[in-house]
Amino acid sequence: MSQQSIHDALMERLATLSAYGASGGIAVTGWSMQEWFGVIGLIFMILTFIINTYYRRKTHLHQIFMQEQARAVNIDDDRAAS
């Protein structure tokens, strides 16, 4: 059995499973694909907000740290010059 035929069989199986999974999800919840995509979009929006907030806070704290370091160096320089 060649590598290509294994790949084709696997892709066919995955396509079948995803189609049945989507159909089962729609049958169980009664939601259309448009509603599912809306929910998925909301989930990604919330995740993006959380990740963005985390990294903005991290950047802000780093900037504060760098400013405090610069002040400490300036104070040390002023004392050394005196």
Predicted local confidence at residue 28, as pLDDT: 83
CA 36-40-19 angle, to 5 degrees, is: 50
Residues 12 and 50 in one domain: no
Token readout for 53 is: 């907030």
Q: How many structural domains is the chain composed of? A: 2
Residues 73 and 37 in one domain: yes
Structural domain containing residue 17: 1-30
Residues 15 and 38 in one domain: no
What rounded mean pLDDT belongs to the chain? Answer: 87
Residues 18 and 36 in one domain: no
Q: How much is the average pLDDT of 22-27?
A: 82
| Nearest of 61, 57, 39 to residue 49 by alpha carbon | 57
Predicted local confidence at residue 24, as pLDDT: 85
pLDDT-derived band at 38, boundaries 50, 70, 90:
very high
- In terms of phi and psi (left: phi > 0; alpha: psi -120 to 50; beta: otherwise), the region of 31 is beta
Residues 25 and 62 in one domain: no
Q: How much is the average pLDDT of 50-74?
A: 93
- pTM summary value: 0.56
H-type helices in the chain, by residue range?
A: 3-29, 33-81
Residues 25 and 51 in one domain: no
Q: What is the largest CA-CA distance in the chain?
A: 83
